[in-house]
Amino acid sequence: MLPSKNRLSKTSDFKELALKGRPFYSSFLTLKILKESGLTSRFGVVVSARVSKKATVRNKIKRRITEIVRLNLNNLAAGFKIMILVKPAAASKNYREIKEEIGKLLKQARIL
């Protein structure tokens, strides 16, 4: 689980990222980032019901992504709001594939 200081929790943060965030795309994930003045980077993961009708599948994907982010917190640049949007194709991916894709997106965004 991510520490609370590294989590996006307000609806206004998610809306701001959706409107103003710079997107980076992959086959089954979208990363939106926005520079902020904080000392840490904050993350949010969005897994909609379009990914899977089953909450257990959506929660499993979300747990995998938050664990990957938690393990890489020390290697990430500070001062960003980051939202990870999951596409339906992610339901069939395993942990390793998701980890590689997040790594590529973070490098592309020059945060890792």
CATH class name, domain 4-108: alpha beta
Kindly report the pTM of this predicted structure. 0.92
Question: Tell me, what's the pLDDT at 95?
Answer: 96
Angle at 84 between CA 25 and CA 38, to 5 degrees: 115
Three-state DSSP class for 7?
strand
Taking a C-beta distance cutoff of 8 angstroms, is the pair 34, 16 a contact?
yes
Question: Tell me, what's the pLDDT at 38?
Answer: 80
Tens digit of each residue's pLDDT (9 = 90 or more) over 4-59:
999 999 999 999 999 999 999 999 999 999 999 888 999 999 999 999 999 999 99
Q: Hey, where are the domains in the chain?
A: 4-108
Tens digit of each residue's pLDDT (9 = 90 or more) over 57-112:
999 999 999 999 999 999 999 999 999 999 999 999 999 999 999 999 999 999 98
Tens digit of each residue's pLDDT (9 = 90 or more) over 46-59:
999 999 999 999 99
Residues 6+ apart with CB under 8 A from 64: 95, 98
Read off the amino acid at residue 49. Answer: A
Tokens of 36: 């902020």
Number of H helices, E strands in the chain: 3, 4
Furthest C-alpha separation in the chain: 37
Question: Tell me, what's the pLDDT at 39?
Answer: 86
